[in-house]
Amino acid sequence: MRHLMSPLDFSVEELDQLLDLASDIEKHPEKYAHACDGKKLATLFYEPSTRTRLSFEAAMMNLGGNIFGFSSAESSSAAKGESVSDTIRMISCYADICAMRHPKEGAPMVASAVSSIPVINAGDGGHQHPTQTLTDLLTIRSLKGRLDNLTIGLCGDLKFGRTVHSLVRALARYKNITFIFISPEELKIPSYIKEDVLEAQGIPYQESERIEDVMPDLDILYMTRVQQERFFNEADYIRLKDFYILNNKKMKLAKEDMIVMHPLPRVNEISVEVDKDPRAAYFRQVQYGVYVRMALILTLLEVNLC
Ligand code: NCD
């Protein structure tokens, strides 16, 4: 039985197969409409989420399966003091697979150690968000036609943003990727990612505080929200939250075929005027998220359609 804790749990070849399956689902959804008849997905969300939880639920429903779960710690037995390990032992008796989001780094890993059903990490604190990464990889592969030979700018809260931490690890495995990290001093990418992931493998990266300086070089601009809930000090959040606002003026500096991605939710970091630019890919990214989660559920449940 397999779980998904980090995007690196899949080899590059396995990821290719998963993304191929997601693309086939996009083209022939009817083929998969009953692939999970009678199966149940539990969504265990100890932290708020709209997109990820509903994306998992839509994915399972598109496969003909059923869903149940909770959407906040307050509405689960965690409020009575139940441990994650006990909850997952109990859920294992009800469901065939589960997706867990938790504010504490490593909680889904603790659950996977005692679970008798596949556990998917749907975001653990500031650590990792592997299914967002699968979504991002499918979006990049579908819209740019490749996962190598790319210059990607990651902009915003690179310190706390788990989507960035997961995506950098995943893209670092492809050839000729250059990372440009765009952030204020206080929200720089953690040094363990620079040292252990990039420098250790000789992968080039630059750091910049100004988006305008690097815009013309980018194939992809990955914008992120400043992660308010992970700040200790409200004044710091208020000072940093509007540090970057992508608008049409800045988009003029970019290549004609650059794409703008964002894991969403957006706060102020992308002005709504950019939504009409054909290079804005963030809502298409949401749709790719459903296809890739369908592919993931099929893969972890080992459902093979002949
Ligand atoms: C992201 C997350 O939860 O980390 N959202 C998502 O799952 N699409 C990004 C964010 O909350 O900023």
Question: In this prediction, what percent of the chain has a pLDDT beyond 90?
Answer: 90
- Determine the average pLDDT of the residues in 38-60: 95
Mean pLDDT of 221-236: 91
CA dist 127 and 24 (Å) reads 31
Pairing of strands 119-124, 97-102: parallel
Q: Which helix (H) or strand (E) holds 144?
A: helix 130-144
Please state whether the predicted TM-score (pTM) of the whole model is above 0.85.
Answer: yes
Give catalytic residue positions: 51-52, 80, 101, 129
Phi and psi for 99 in degrees, rounded to 5?
Answer: -115, 130
Q: Atom 6 of ligand 1 has which residue's CA nearest to it?
A: 263
> What local confidence, expressed as pLDDT, does residue 223 receive?
98
Residue 74's pLDDT is 83
SS3 195: helix
pLDDT value of position 84: 95
Residue 185 has pLDDT above 70, yes or no: yes
For residue 263, report the distance from its CA to the centre of ligand 1, in Å.
6
The Å distance, Cα 220 to ligand 1 centre, comes to 18
- The residue nearest atom 1 of ligand 1, judged by CA position, is 263
pLDDT digits (tens, 9 = 90+) for 271-306: 999 999 999 999 999 999 999 999 999 999 999 886
Confidence of residue 230 (pLDDT cuts 50, 70, 90): confident
Listed in sequence order, the residues at least 6 apart from 239 whose beta carbon sits closer than 8 Å to its beta carbon are none
Q: Cβ neighbours of residue 306 under 8 Å, at least 6 residues apart?
A: none
pLDDT value of residue 215 = 98
Q: What local confidence, expressed as pLDDT, does residue 306 receive?
A: 67
pLDDT at 128: 93
User: Rounded to the nearest whole angstrom, what is the distance from the C-alpha of residue 195 to the centroid of ligand 1?
Assistant: 25
Could you report the per-residue pLDDT of 124-156, keeping only the tens digit for each? Answer: 998 999 999 999 999 999 999 999 999 999 999
What residue ranges line ligand 1, CB within 6 angstroms? 51-52, 123, 129, 132, 162-163, 225, 263-265
Under the banding of pLDDT at 50, 70 and 90, the label for residue 49 is confident
Structure confidence at residue 50 (pLDDT): 85
Q: Do the Cβ atoms of 287 and 261 come closer than 8 Å?
A: no
Average pLDDT over residues 242-259: 97
pLDDT at residue 195, rounded to an integer: 97
Residue 265: asked if its preceding bond is cis (omega within 30°), the reply is yes
Range from 18-27, 229-238, 250-259, 268-277 carrying the lowest mean pLDDT:
229-238
Mean pLDDT score of the chain: 96
231 confidence band (pLDDT: 50, 70, 90)? confident
Q: Which domains are delineated in the chain? A: 7-128+287-300 (3.40.50.1370), 131-285 (3.40.50.1370)
